[in-house]
């Protein structure tokens, strides 16, 4: 005899009856159902009483159900609860119905799997729609801002084609080059060779060696550059370089080039032309990060992307007025008079000094400089635009490799940029972050 515990879940495949009781109940119920097959009224027939349970067969139209209930007093640990079995009426129709139910159940299972697949597809479609909408919004905003801040030149006869505009600029450059370098004897010679090939030639070349202990200064002097010594700090070195420029020469603009950055041949012509734009206060280029073995395409695109993205988050209103955050490896250039008007780079910053200069120069151009030019009442004529020129300069990816690759360097940039832009960390706090997360690269900063 099979007994079922009270706490045990019942299954249609498990019968809590002995074989004798089940046989009696089945034979009685079959004979009773045959005798009453013509009666459409519900009937209850007691089929048998076994030693362990009472089996009831309930006849309701064409369905037949067995109800098993306890008959004897049994110990509480082995109480048999009522179990209901739908055994049908033995006809083909009922068997077909059971088959249909099984098929429907399978269909529901299949439909459930399809629903899961549909949910995944819907989620994927939502994500793709969001990304496409974000891209369209980004391009729309950038297009609108480009139209708003279109360049404004004194010569209205210059052709709208950029190549023809540049060809009309006179061949003599009005731009000097300042190079901050610290123990850069492995890179400075290659850069100076590239500068010698520039046409037009720069007005002056200043190499700020800080307190370098290698042969950087000797190599720079061999190429005819002026060497300036100062304390070790990129901001201090670049400010010292601008102060060392010969004011007697016709030098209106200055280009800051890192020692591991290589310019394109006509970069000075592009700079002179860009700074003739009345609205331009500062500019830079697209930086392509490379090493001898690979090009960091993702990080290079990230540099272009963050120029707008960071600015839109940190300074949304000023972003609509022309502000962009540029960085040193993008080849920053500006007018020397404007640079001196804001006292140059912030010498308390060991890093993020380039973005800080963009913010201060853009503010100066949209307020004090505009008032001096009597343009304060006309927002379209304010000298407040930071230009990202669509030309490529290459810079070394050695710092990326020193930090462990793309991912880690991107996280470090986010950390330091967020500390500077969101939490306004400066001075010793920013220096601690810089020295902690640039353990190798900061030796040549």
Per-residue model confidence (pLDDT) at position 271: 96
Compute the half-sphere exposure of residue 240: CA atoms within 13 Å on the CB side of its CA. Answer: 21
- Smallest CA-to-CA distance from 238 within 331, 395, 345 is with 345
Cross-strand pairs, 229: 210
The pLDDT tens digits of the residues spanning 370-420 come to 656 655 455 555 678 999 999 999 999 988 888 777 888 888 888 999 999
Least confident piece of the model among 196-205, 287-296, 436-445: 436-445
pLDDT band of residue 288 (cuts 50, 70, 90) is very high
Q: pTM of the entire structure?
A: 0.68
Per-residue model confidence (pLDDT) at position 439: 62
Contacts of 286 (CB under 8 A, 6+ apart): 300, 303, 304, 330, 388, 389, 390, 391, 392, 393
3-state secondary structure of 103: helix
Least confident piece of the model among 86-100, 319-333, 413-427: 86-100
Residue 266 has pLDDT above 60, yes or no: yes
Output 441 or 243, whichever has higher pLDDT.
Answer: 243
Beta strands 226-229 and 63-70 are: unpaired
Beta strands 280-290 and 261-262 are: unpaired
Pinpoint the alpha helices (H) of 149-244.
Answer: 162-167, 188-196, 216-222, 234-243
Overall average pLDDT of the 291-316 stretch: 90
Residue 54 has pLDDT above 60, yes or no: no
Contact assessment for residue 208 and residue 241, using Cβ atoms and an 8 Å cutoff = yes
- Smallest CA-to-CA distance from 402 within 289, 233, 284, 325 is with 289
- Provide Rg for the chain, Cα atoms: 41
Q: Mapped to the 3 state alphabet, what secondary structure does 239-294 carry?
A: HHHHHCCCCCCCCCEEEECCCCEECCCCHHHHHHHHCCCCCEEEEEEEEEEECCCC
Instruction: Spell out the long-range contacts of 44-52 with Cβ–Cβ below 8 A and sequence spacing 24 or more.
Output: 48/21, 48/24, 50/17, 50/18, 50/20, 50/21, 50/24, 50/25, 51/1, 51/18, 51/20, 51/21, 52/1, 52/3, 52/17, 52/18, 52/21, 52/80
Q: Would you state the structure tokens that stand for residue 318, as one six-digit string?
A: 């000023």
Q: Is 141 left (phi over 0), alpha (psi -120 to 50) or beta?
A: alpha
The pLDDT tens digits of the residues spanning 133-188 come to 988 887 888 788 777 778 877 654 444 445 545 444 456 689 999 999 999 999 99
- In which element (H, E) is residue 371 found? helix 368-372
> What's the longest Cα–Cα distance across the chain?
126
Contact assessment for residue 16 and residue 85, using Cβ atoms and an 8 Å cutoff = no
Q: Would you state the structure tokens that stand for residue 240, as one six-digit string?
A: 């010292």
Q: Would you state the structure tokens that stand for residue 86, as one six-digit string?
A: 């739908």
Distance separating alpha carbons of residues 273 and 168, to the nearest angstrom = 9
Overall average pLDDT of the 201-220 stretch: 94
């Amino acid at each position: 005899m099979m007994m079922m515990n009270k706490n045990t879940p019942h299954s249609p495949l498990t019968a809590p009856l002995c074989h004798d009781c089940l046989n009696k109940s089945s034979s009685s119920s079959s004979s009773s159902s045959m005798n009453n097959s013509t009666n459409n009224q519900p009937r209850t027939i007691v089929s048998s009483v076994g030693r362990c349970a009472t089996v009831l067969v309930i006849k309701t139209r064409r369905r037949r159900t067995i109800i098993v209930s306890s008959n004897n007093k049994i110990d509480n640990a082995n109480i048999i609860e009522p179990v209901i079995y739908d055994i049908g009426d033995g006809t083909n129709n009922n068997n077909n119905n059971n088959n249909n139910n099984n098929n429907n159940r399978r269909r529901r299972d299949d439909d459930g799997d399809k629903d899961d697949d549909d949910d995944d597809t819907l989620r994927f479609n939502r994500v793709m729609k969001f990304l496409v909408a974000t891209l369209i919004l980004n391009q729309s905003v950038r297009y609108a801002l480009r139209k708003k801040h279109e360049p404004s030149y004194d010569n209205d006869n210059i052709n709208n084609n950029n190549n023809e505009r540049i060809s009309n600029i006179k061949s003599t450059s009005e731009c000097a080059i300042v190079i901050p370098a610290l123990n850069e004897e492995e890179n400075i010679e290659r850069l100076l060779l590239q500068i010698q090939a520039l046409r037009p030639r720069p007005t002056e070349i200043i190499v700020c060696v800080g307190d370098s202990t290698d042969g950087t200064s000797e190599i720079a002097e061999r190429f005819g550059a002026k060497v300036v010594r100062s304390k070790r700090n990129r901001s201090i070195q670049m400010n010292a370089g601008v102060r060392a420029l010969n004011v007697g020469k016709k030098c209106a603009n200055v280009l800051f080039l890192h020692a591991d950055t290589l310019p394109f041949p006509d970069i000075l012509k592009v700079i002179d032309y860009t700074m003739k734009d009345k609205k331009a206060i500062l500019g830079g280029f697209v930086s392509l990060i490379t090493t001898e073995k690979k090009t960091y395409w993702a990080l290079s695109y990230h540099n272009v992307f963050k120029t707008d993205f960071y600015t839109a988050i940190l300074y949304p209103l000023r972003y609509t007025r022309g502000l962009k955050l540029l960085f040193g490896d993008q080849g920053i250039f500006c007018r020397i008079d404007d640079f001196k008007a804001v006292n140059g780079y912030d010498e308390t910053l060991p890093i993020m000094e380039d973005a800080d200069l963009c913010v201060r120069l853009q503010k100066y151009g949209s307020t004090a400089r505009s008032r001096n030019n009597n343009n304060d009442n006309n927002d379209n004529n304010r000298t407040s635009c930071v230009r990202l020129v669509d030309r490529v300069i290459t810079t070394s990816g050695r710092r990326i490799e020193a930090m462990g690759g793309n991912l880690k360097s991107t996280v470090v940039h986010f950390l330091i940029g967020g500390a500077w832009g969101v939490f306004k960390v400066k001075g010793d706090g920013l220096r601690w972050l810089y020295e902690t997360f640039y353990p190798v690269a900061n030796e040549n900063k």
